[in-house]
Amino acid sequence: METLNVDLGDRSYPIYIGSGLLDRPELLTDHIAGQSAALVSNTTVGPLYAERVARHLTGLKSTEILLPDGERYKTLEVLQQVFTGLLETRMDRGTTLIALGGGVVGDMTGFAAACYQRGVDFIQVPTTLLAMVDSSVGGKTGVNHPLGKNMIGAFYQPQCVIIDTDTLDTLDDRQLAAGIAEVIKYGIILDADFFAWLEANMTKLIARDKPALAYAIRRSCEIKADIVAADEKEKGQRALLNLGHTFGHAIETATGYGTWLHGEAVAAGMVLAAEMAQRLGWVQEEEVGRIRTLIASAGLPLTPPEGMTSARFRELMAVDKKVVGGALRLVLPQAIGKAVVTADFPAAALTETLNAATQ
Ligand code: NAD
Ligand code: GLY
C-alpha cells in the first residue's frame, strides 16, 4: 500500500492506494470518529462491494443507502434519498458517511455530508478509475442542475480516501477509458514526463496491467494533492484541472447527462483546447498531434458529438463556473506539460475553433 497526503493543515487527510484495501478494516475505522456510519453507494456498485465494506462497521450503528445509478440521478431530488435515509435511522452529527462508488456517488455523498446537520464527516472509497485519480481527492462535491453541470455544491474535504485498485476488475472498458482521460489531463497541464510515460504505456493501461495502472493512479493523485494543497478553493492554479472541462461540460449538458461519459466529454474538450491553443500560435501542430494520438489510443473521442453546433457550445459555456464578470476563462495548453487559465484571447479564436470542429 502507498500513502499520499493532502496537506490542508488541520483538515489534511491520507490517500491510501493499493490492492485488497477493502479488506483492511482499520483504514476505514481509524477515520470514523463517532458511533455511527452510513454507507452510500448505488444499485450497481452496492451489490458488488457494499458487504465487504459494511462488515467493518460491526459495533457501530450503521445503515446502507443505495442510490439509482447514473449521472442523470446526480440531482438535488435524488440527494433527498440520502437525507431521508439518515433521518429515518436517526443518524446524528457524529455520523460518518462512506461514499462507495464512482464520481457520481462520491460527489453526491460528499455534498450530503457537507449539508447534513450542517456538516458530518465522510470517507471516499472510489471504485472507478476516474474517481480514483480525480473526483475522490480534493473535496469538490455537488450535484447537477438542468441548466448546468455541478452547479450546486460545496468544497468539503473527506477524512480519507481509500483506493482499492482491485475494484477496477469489474469496471467496463468504456468507463476505464473515461478515467484515462483525466489521467492524460495531468500530463498535459503539468507533467511532460508523465505525458511521455503515458505515450509509452497506454497499451498496458488499456490492457489493465496492474503495475501500470497503480503508477498512473499514484502519479495522478500526487499531482492532484499538490494542486489542492496549494489552492483548495480554486482561486488560481486549481482551475488548471479543468482543462477540457468547459467544452466537455457543454457536451454533457447538450447531450443529456449520461449519454457521453464525463471523461469522454473531457477528452473531446481537451482536443478543442489544444486546437484553440494552436490557432493562437501557443502550441505547435506536432504537440497537438501528440495530444490527439494519445487520446485516440485510449479509445476516447477526438471530436464533439454530431449535431452539436458552435452556437450551442457558446450558449452552454457561458454558464461555466470559470466565467468571472461575464468573461469566459479557458484552460489552454502552452506546451505539453504547461497550461494557463486565461480570458485573454480573441473571441474569434474560440468561434473559429468551434466552427471548425462542429462543421
Ligand atoms: P459514475 O460514478 O457514474 O460511475 C460510472 C459507472 O461505473 C456507473 O454506472 C457506476 O455504477 C459504475 N461503477 C462504478 N464502480 C464500478 C466498479 N468497480 N465495477 C463496476 N461498475 C462500477 O462515473 P465516474 O466517471 O466515476 O464519475 C463521473 C462524475 O464525477 C461526474 O459527475 C463528474 O462531474 C464527477 N467528477 C467530479 C470531480 C470532482 O473533483 N469532484 C472530478 C471529476 C469528475
Ligand atoms: N476535477 C477538478 C477539481 O477537482 O478541481
Is 132 in a helix, a strand, or coil?
Answer: helix
| Rounded-to-integer distance, Cα 166 and Cα 198, Å | 21
Regarding the beta carbon of 220 and ligand 1, being less than 6 Å apart is answered: no
Looking at the fold, whether 216 and 298 belong to one and the same domain comes out as yes
What pLDDT score was predicted for residue 326?
74
Of ligand 1's listed atoms, the one at least distance from the Cα of 168 is 18
Of ligand 2's listed atoms, the one at least distance from the Cα of 182 is 1
Looking at the fold, whether 150 and 178 belong to one and the same domain comes out as no
Which member of 74, 149, 218, 262 is catalytic?
262
Looking at the fold, whether 59 and 85 belong to one and the same domain comes out as yes
Q: What is the pTM of this model?
A: 0.96
Structural Rg of the chain based on CA atoms:
20
**Residue 138 C-alpha to ligand 2 middle, in angstroms?**
7
Pocket residues for ligand 2 (CB within 6 Å)? 134, 138, 140, 238, 241-242
Active-site annotation holds for 262: yes
Active-site annotation holds for 234: yes
Cell, residue 35: 458511533
What pLDDT score was predicted for residue 115?
98
Looking at the fold, whether 47 and 117 belong to one and the same domain comes out as yes
Looking at the fold, whether 317 and 204 belong to one and the same domain comes out as yes
Active-site annotation holds for 242: yes
Cell, residue 168: 477496477
Q: Which of 126, 143, 170 is the last residue of a domain?
A: 170
**Residue 343 C-alpha to ligand 1 middle, in angstroms?**
30
**Residue 135 C-alpha to ligand 2 middle, in angstroms?**
7
Domain limits at 188? Answer: 173-358
Q: Which of 170, 203, 222 is the last residue of a domain?
A: 170
* Percentage of the chain modeled with pLDDT above 90: 92
Of ligand 1's listed atoms, the one at least distance from the Cα of 261 is 25
Of ligand 2's listed atoms, the one at least distance from the Cα of 238 is 5
Alpha-carbon separation of residue 13 from 101, 167, 225 (angstroms): 19, 22, 10
Residue 4 · residue 225 · CB < 8 Å: yes
Regarding the beta carbon of 131 and ligand 1, being less than 6 Å apart is answered: yes
Residue closest by Cα to atom 39 of ligand 1: 135
Looking at the fold, whether 160 and 258 belong to one and the same domain comes out as no
What pLDDT score was predicted for residue 187?
98
| Rounded-to-integer distance, Cα 344 and Cα 105, Å | 36
**Residue 117 C-alpha to ligand 2 middle, in angstroms?**
25
CATH classification of the domain holding 57: 3.40.50.1970
Regarding the beta carbon of 66 and ligand 1, being less than 6 Å apart is answered: no
What pLDDT score was predicted for residue 258?
73
What pLDDT score was predicted for residue 297?
98
Looking at the fold, whether 99 and 221 belong to one and the same domain comes out as no
Q: Which of 65-69's residues contact partners 24+ apart within 8 Å by CB, and which partners?
A: 65/38, 65/39, 65/40, 65/41, 66/41, 66/42, 67/40, 67/41, 67/42, 67/43, 67/105, 67/108, 68/42, 68/43, 69/42, 69/43, 69/44, 69/45, 69/104
What pLDDT score was predicted for residue 164?
98
Those residues of the chain that have pLDDT short of 70 are: 320, 322
In angstroms, how far is CA 91 from the centroid of its own chain?
Answer: 28
Of ligand 1's listed atoms, the one at least distance from the Cα of 48 is 19
**Residue 3 C-alpha to ligand 1 middle, in angstroms?**
22
Q: Which of 170, 201, 236 is the last residue of a domain?
A: 170
φ, ψ of residue 167 to 5 degrees: the values are -65, -15
Which member of 150, 242, 279, 290 is catalytic?
242
**Residue 109 C-alpha to ligand 1 middle, in angstroms?**
12
Looking at the fold, whether 245 and 142 belong to one and the same domain comes out as no
What pLDDT score was predicted for residue 8?
98
What pLDDT score was predicted for residue 248?
95
Looking at the fold, whether 184 and 327 belong to one and the same domain comes out as yes
